[in-house]
Amino acid sequence: MEQQEKSPWKIIYTVILVANLVYILLFYWITQTYTIS
């Protein structure tokens, strides 16, 4: 029961971390594409 209660939170935390990782990857792509080397 406790495991079931904990797993939605684990999913939520994972979603947030993954979303932010995606943002950073996007920023990396933007930096590489638009910055003069």
Partner 1 sequence: MGGNLDYRDWIVLSVTILFIVIFGIYRTRKNRSVQDFIKGGNNTKWWTIGLSVMATQASAITFLSTPGQAFHDGMGFVQFYFGLPIAMIIICLVFIPIYYKLNVYTAYEYLETRFDLKTRSLAAILFLIQRGLATGITIYAPSIILSYVLGWDLIILNIVIGLLVILYTVSGGTKAVNVTQKQQMVIIFFGMLIAFYLILQYMPDGITFSKALDIAGANDKMKVLDFSFDLNNRYTVWTGFLGGTFLMLSYFGTDQSQVQRYLSGKSLRESQLGLLFNGLLKVPMQFFILLVGVMVFVFYQFNSSPLNFNPKANEAVISSAYAEEYRALESQHKKIEEQKRVLFLDGVQDSERSLVRELNKKDKALKERAKEIIALADDEVETNDKDYVFIHFILNNLPKGIIGLLLAVILAAAMSSTASELNALASTTTIDIYKRNVAIGRTEAHYVSASKWLTFAWGIVAISIACVANLVDNLIQLVNIIGSVFYGNVLGIFLLAFFIKYVRGTAVFIAAIITQLIIFAIYFMDVLPYLWLNLIGCVIVMILAVFIQTFMQSNKTEPIDNIKGLE
> Shortest approach of partner 1 to residue 26 CB, angstroms?
9
Phi, psi dihedrals of residue 35, rounded to the nearest 5°: -95, 140
> Shortest approach of partner 1 to residue 33 CB, angstroms?
7
Q: Does 3 contact partner 1 by CB under 8 A?
A: no
Q: CA 1 to CA 5: how far, in whole Å?
A: 6
Q: Does 24 contact partner 1 by CB under 8 A?
A: yes
| Residues of this chain that bind partner 1 (CB under 8 A) | 9, 12-13, 15-17, 19-20, 23-24, 27-28, 30-31, 33-36
